[in-house]
Amino acid sequence: MHIETLGRGPDLVLIHGWALHGGVFAPLAQRLAPHFRLHLVDLPGHGFSRGPADPLDLAAVASEIASRTPPAIWLGWSLGGLFALRAAAALPTVRGLVMVAATPRFVRAPDWPHAVEPEVFARFGDELAGDYAGTLDRFIALDTLGSEHGRSELKTLRALLHERGAPDPAALRDGLALLASSDLRRSLPGLRVPSLWLAGRRDRLVDPRGMAAAAARVPGARFVELAHAAHAPFLGHVDRVAAEIGAFADNIEPGPTVS
């Protein structure tokens, strides 16, 4: 698994969303690197981690990332939030959790109304086989739909999508299966690390009401809704996101740093 490390200061692990790679955080990394030592993960089958890889199993991938990074705050965006939340609930090396447009359950249920219909991820999975490129493009278009900077954000994501090579189809199917089937809500009341939940009010994939409901179950969690942001707030609203992360980290007891 490829993990790029840059910057100096407290350690921060960043995990990307479906079909992308750690390079998607470039604007955010530019602002955070003077203050944090960043560990930018390419999930198996994505970016520089393409090639024969193990399935995208939450526990296994989270454990591997933890074994290759120091104790750190973990940040997960979208699909990456499932890995970050799994790690925060199970691994002692996670010092804080930042969920960006991510939730413990991505699909709707009778007791979880603020989420997408289960058929959404199934449909994307069915379409991958017949129209691989078009399916990826339609999905990333949803990432930016509704944002006040949607056009520029979509241009950035399209440029990044294949910057490190096309993601592996098997990894994409695994990712969609995780989005469709994972339910980590039971872990929320027992989280013992500080957490920050950053939602976009205009997000069409992760309803901010679902994120608020999740944060309300976590002791001491902070929920922030960005009024004009959609599913990728670290692109069009990068300064605000960086400021929120910095303020959050300032309230976490300092650990060892590497210069």
Identify the pLDDT of residue 255. 59
| Residue 259 pLDDT level (bands cut at 50, 70, 90) | very low
Average pLDDT of the residues in 142-170: 87
Handedness of CA 5, 87, 45, 152 (dihedral sign): negative
Instruction: Tell me, yes or no, if 78 is annotated catalytic.
Output: yes
pLDDT value, residue 53: 63
Q: What is the dihedral of CA 50, 203, 242, 163, to 10 degrees?
A: 30
DSSP three-state, residue 237: coil
- Please provide the DSSP assignment of 159-171 as one string: HHHTTT-PPPHHH
Q: Which residues pair with 243 in a beta bridge?
A: none
CA dist., res. 199 & res. 241, Å (int):
10
What number is the average pLDDT over the span 37-41?
98
Tokens of 222: 């902070």
Q: Per the residue annotation, which of 78, 147, 182, 195 is the catalytic one?
A: 78
pLDDT for 139 equals 86
pLDDT of residue 254: 65
Region class of 165: left (phi > 0), else alpha (psi between -120 and 50), else beta: left
Q: Where are the domains of the chain?
A: 3-250
Pairing between β-strand 3-7 and β-strand 37-41 as defined by DSSP bridges: antiparallel
State the CB neighbour count (10 A cutoff) for residue 126.
12
Question: What distance in Å separates the CA atoms of residue 224 and residue 222, rounded to the nearest whole number?
Answer: 7
Q: Is 231 a catalytic residue?
A: yes
Helices first, then strands: H and E counts in the chain = 10, 7
206 or 120: which leads in pLDDT: 206
Distances in whole angstroms, Cα of residue 161 to Cα of each of 21, 46, 50, 158, 199: 8, 10, 13, 5, 22
Of 148 and 200, the structure prediction assigns the larger pLDDT to 200
85 closest CA partner among 100, 64, 69, 68: 100
Q: pLDDT at residue 195 above 70?
A: yes
Give the containing element (helix H, strand E) for 200.
strand 195-200
Give how far the C-alpha of residue 52 lies from the chain's centroid of Cα atoms, to the nearest Å: 23
The radius of gyration of the chain's CA atoms, rounded to the nearest angstrom, is: 17
User: Is residue 165 very low, low, confident or very high in pLDDT (cuts 50, 70, 90)?
Assistant: confident
Residue 256 CB neighbours (<10 A): 8
Checking if the pLDDT of 123 tops 70, the result is: yes
User: Residue 174 catalytic?
Assistant: no
Render pLDDT for 61-115 as a digit per residue (tens, 0 to 9).
Answer: 999 999 999 999 999 999 999 999 999 999 999 999 999 999 999 999 999 999 9
Confidence of residue 129 (pLDDT cuts 50, 70, 90): confident
Confidence of residue 132 (pLDDT cuts 50, 70, 90): confident
| Averaged pLDDT of the chain | 93
* DSSP classification of residue 253: P
Dihedral of the alpha carbons of 17, 218, 197, 137, in degrees to the nearest 10: 30
Question: In the CATH scheme, what is the code of domain 3-250?
Answer: 3.40.50.1820
Lowest mean pLDDT among 7-16, 146-155, 209-218: 146-155
Which of the following is catalytic: 42, 174, 203, 207?
203
